[in-house]
C-alpha cells in the first residue's frame, strides 16, 4: 500500500486506529487456505470482470461518496478502456467468474480531524488447486490499496484515490491482454 494524505499520521496512532478496521474488512481466516496474490499475470485470458463496490461507511455516504456512484465511475472507466464488464457472474462465460471487489473503510479521527481511510481494490476469482481437484472460490489474485488521511471537507478525494487504483488495474490488464 502507498500512503498519501495532506497530513501524515503518526505511525502508532494510525495503526491503533486503522488496523482494527482493516482486520474487520479482511474477514475470517480460511483454515488451510494459503494463497499469495501474484499480480497482473492472473488477469491473463479473463474475458472481463464484474464490479462489486461494498457498502460505504455512512459518514462518507452522506458526503456524497456512495457505492452506486463509485460503481458507475469504475464501470465507465473499465468500458472506456475496452474491458468487458459483466452485470453479474452469471453473465461471465469464464469459469473463473472474476470480479473487482472494491472497499472503503474509514475510521473517524479524534477531535474532528477527519478520517483515516483504507481504499482497497482486489480482483477475486475461482482458482483451481495444482495438486487436487478442489477450487478456491473468491481467491484474491490481484490487489492494490492506499491508506489516506482526509478531512471532512476533503472526503471526495477518496474518489480520486479510487480512480488511481483503477488505473493500476487497467494498466496491468492491458499488459497481459
26 part of a folded domain: no
Distances 20 to 13, 14, 26, 52, 96 between C-alpha atoms, Å:
12, 10, 10, 23, 31
Report pLDDT for 28. 47
Distances (CA, A) of 130 to 133, 134, 158: 8, 9, 39
Nearest to 120 by CA among 75, 74, 171, 161: 161
pLDDT digits (tens, 9 = 90+) for 114-135: 899 999 999 999 988 888 888 8
pTM listed for this prediction = 0.76
Does the residue 98 lie in any domain? yes
Is position 15 within any domain? yes
Q: Which domain holds residue 165?
A: 2-20+38-176
- Domain contains 25: no
74 in a structural domain? yes
| In a domain? residue 8 | yes
- Half-sphere exposure in the Cβ direction for 27 (13 Å, CA): 6
Total structural domains in the chain? 1
Asked if the structure places residue 79 within a domain, the reply is yes
Amino acid at each position: 500500500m502507498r500512503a498519501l494524505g495532506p497530513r501524515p499520521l503518526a505511525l502508532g496512532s494510525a495503526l491503533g486506529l486503522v488496523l482494527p478496521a482493516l482486520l474487520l474488512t479482511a474477514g475470517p481466516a480460511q483454515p488451510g487456505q494459503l494463497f499469495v496474490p501474484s499480480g497482473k499475470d492472473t488477469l491473463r485470458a479473463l474475458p472481463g470482470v464484474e464490479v462489486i463496490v461494498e457498502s460505504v461507511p455512512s459518514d462518507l455516504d452522506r458526503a456524497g461518496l456512495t457505492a452506486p456512484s463509485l460503481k458507475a465511475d469504475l464501470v465507465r472507466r473499465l468500458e472506456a478502456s475496452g474491458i468487458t464488464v459483466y452485470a453479474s457472474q452469471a453473465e461471465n462465460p469464464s469459469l473463473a467468474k472474476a470480479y473487482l471487489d472494491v472497499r472503503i473503510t474509514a475510521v473517524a479521527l479524534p477531535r474532528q480531524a477527519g478520517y483515516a481511510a483504507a481504499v482497497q481494490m482486489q480482483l477475486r476469482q475461482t482458482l483451481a488447486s495444482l495438486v487436487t481437484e478442489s477450487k478456491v472460490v473468491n481467491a484474491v489474485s490481484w490487489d492494490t490499496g492506499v491508506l489516506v488521511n482526509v478531512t471532512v471537507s476533503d472526503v471526495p478525494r477518496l474518489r480520486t484515490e479510487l480512480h488511481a487504483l483503477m488505473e493500476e488495474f487497467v494498466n496491468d490488464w492491458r499488459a497481459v491482454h
